[in-house]
Structure 1
Amino acid sequence: MLKCLASCFIAMFIFGTQTVFADGAVIRYPRPAARTDSHFDYVHELLAEALSLSPHKYQLLPSKATMQQGRAVHEMKNGTGEVDLLWSMSTDEREKALIAIKIPIDKGLLGWRIPFVISENRQMFKTIRTLRDMENYSAGQELDWPDVKILEHNGLKVNTANSYEALFSMLEAGRFDYFPRSVMEIWKEQESHAGKNIIISQDIALHYPAAYYFFVAPTKRQFAEDLTNGLEIMVHNGQFEKLFLKYHQSSIQKAGLKQRTVLELQNPFLNPANMPLSRAELWFKP
């Protein structure tokens, strides 16, 4: 209880109003378009803990308008000041344009995907054994997500939408067959869309190399350094692992990855040589 109160206290100050730290640098992150951000609580507690270890003060505030990933990357790359911080799946292109803090805050879990389907199709993937078996089925994804190109590169059909929330209605309406979501996302999303005729398939999982990093605008190098240092301290003192398990252990257990047929996909948009794969403590293994 005391640890929880302490974390809330830290978060209250770092993510508080403009008047909390009058002399703290304002760092803006994209205001999500979704009704709920399944990563929000975890990411913000992680940021709060890491930045509490910094000698500098920061205020983290959402952008004035809702913003999709592609727009956020553009704003950060061009130094407009609209967005300074983004957490998203990494690509080689994003790593060239922005400062990538190469501590995968998802431990690679974002690359483990299980699908939403409509309830009538609960048995649809029962006989799936290979990627070739998936060729007749189409996935749904948001237009600017890196996953779109990854799925297409592996020969899978993809239908896209301009917004995250629209994907749930499109799945329900039969516009595509399945909506693959990461193990760390899907359970909260199921709760927040409980009124829809969708369920989580129990038969397959898609897996591809992925890293969910914090990205910082090139104009905010001091912030990037402070955030990196704070995260490294958390990795070494065990707090990073504790926080990861606090938010994701239940989801990992419910996913039952060892009982699923796992379909391995290539990710040609993220060079393994640039990933910190030698640091085993940073990666999830089922």
Structure 2
Amino acid sequence: MSKHSLSQFLLIFTFFIALMSNDASSSETIYYPRSTAKIDPHIDFILEILNTALREFPGKYQPVPSAAAYPQTRSINEAISPYGQIDLVWTMSTNERETKLIPIRIPLDKGLLGWRIAFVNDKNKDILSQVKSLNDLKKFDAGQVHDWPDTEILQNNMLNVVSSSTYEAMFKMLAANRFDYSPRAIFEIWGELASHSSMPIFIDTHIVLHYPTAFYFFVSPRKPVFANDLKLGIERIITNGQFEKIFQKYQRDAIQKADIKHRTVIELRNPLLDSRRLPLNRPELWFKP
């Protein structure tokens, strides 16, 4: 190779390296909270939706987990704060969260978060077998994490709740019979059972709780452009069918296992969310048992 050709090659090579470097450096880092759970039951599903939606904006955003694990309340507060470390969270919608954060009003779970079946201690597998109404359920103690919206929802429906300080502590308390049952969303519970297989817990087969809610992406007010792009990206993958494919990939088996049609449905009020905020005019976004 002549010196002239070598110089041209090196110039072109340097140009492409610089171009790639500029593309990488131009990506905006979006921090989401690392979970406190040993195994996060949502993470693969959520990240596939997130990354598929953001592929509509090649190279523009780079989602990254936070260095430290964040419990739910702290992650939301970090997203709200003008100087917070978190840009994106995914969680149950409430009126307060929709006011303080930017909600992407597309239910990632298609409303499954509001369909809840319960863990029970495996020594009391049939403890809920005679529950046919909300009044019947009031005889038992539920277990939830203290800062979850579900705790307030259950209490507002006059159900007894024993709260735990952390997610993992909730399972230890159930194993120790500190409460009778722990309601979990049907798209959470099977993965949680697998990740706590050494514990004496069992999935109740008798009842399902239901209340109106949605599991949204919430974006920090610091990131309005990202919020707009994320919504547009999700709308595009809904239109082209990718959203439904991802939902079925992760949730189909859980829905079948839950067997809702053969359970007693206990309807609950949700005082934390005005149902008029929900996109109920779009039936394609909602699960119907």
The answer, yes or no, to whether TM exceeds 0.5 is yes
Which residue of 75, 78, 83 corresponds with 2:78? 75
Report the Cα offset of residue 140 of structure 1. 0.8
Q: For residues 20 and 126 of structure 1, what CA distance do their matches in structure 2 show?
A: 59
Q: Taking structure 1 as the reference length, what is the TM-score of the superposition?
A: 0.92
Q: 5+ unaligned residues in a row in structure 2: which ranges?
A: 1-21
Which residue of 83, 108, 132 corresponds with 1:129? 132
CA deviations over 1:43-78 (Å, ceiling 9, x no partner): 001011000002551111111211111111111111
**Residues 1:119 and 2:109 are matched in the alignment:** no
- CA-based RMSD: 1.4
Which residue of 254, 265, 270 corresponds with 2:268? 265
CA deviations over 1:121-168 (Å, ceiling 9, x no partner): 111111110000011211111111100110000010111111101111
Q: Does the CA-based 8 Å contact 1:54-1:227 persist in structure 2?
A: no
Structure 1 equivalent of residue 185 of structure 2:
182
Structure 1 equivalent of residue 215 of structure 2:
212
Report the Cα offset of residue 81 of structure 1. 3.5
**Residues 1:86 and 2:81 are matched in the alignment:** no
Query: What does 1:24-103 correspond to in 2, within 5 Å?
Result: 24-54=27-57, 57-103=60-106
**Residues 1:193 and 2:191 are matched in the alignment:** no
Equivalent AA in structure 2 for residue 121 of structure 1 = N
Q: Does the CA-based 8 Å contact 2:33-2:89 persist in structure 1?
A: yes
Aligned with 1:181: secondary structure? strand
Report the Cα offset of residue 21 of structure 1. 2.6
Q: Does the CA-based 8 Å contact 2:23-2:59 persist in structure 1?
A: no
Which residue of 171, 175, 178 corresponds with 1:172? 175
Which residue of 250, 253, 259 corresponds with 1:250? 253
Q: For residues 38 and 243 of structure 2, what CA distance do their matches in structure 1 show?
A: 27
Q: Does the CA-based 8 Å contact 1:108-1:210 persist in structure 2?
A: yes
Structure 2 equivalent of residue 147 of structure 1:
150
Dislocated runs of 4+, deviation >6 Å: none
Q: How many residues align?
A: 269
Aligned with 1:206: secondary structure? strand
Report the Cα offset of residue 23 of structure 1. 1.9
Q: For residues 20 and 248 of structure 1, what CA distance do their matches in structure 2 show?
A: 35
**Residues 1:159 and 2:194 are matched in the alignment:** no
Q: For residues 275 and 110 of structure 1, what CA distance do their matches in structure 2 show?
A: 14
Q: For residues 154 and 197 of structure 2, what CA distance do their matches in structure 1 show?
A: 27
Q: For residues 124 and 108 of structure 1, what CA distance do their matches in structure 2 show?
A: 27
Q: Does the CA-based 8 Å contact 2:118-2:183 persist in structure 1?
A: yes
**Residues 1:110 and 2:113 are matched in the alignment:** yes
Structure 1 equivalent of residue 5 of structure 2:
none
Q: For residues 148 and 83 of structure 2, what CA distance do their matches in structure 1 show?
A: 22
Change (3 A) 1:48 1:124: same
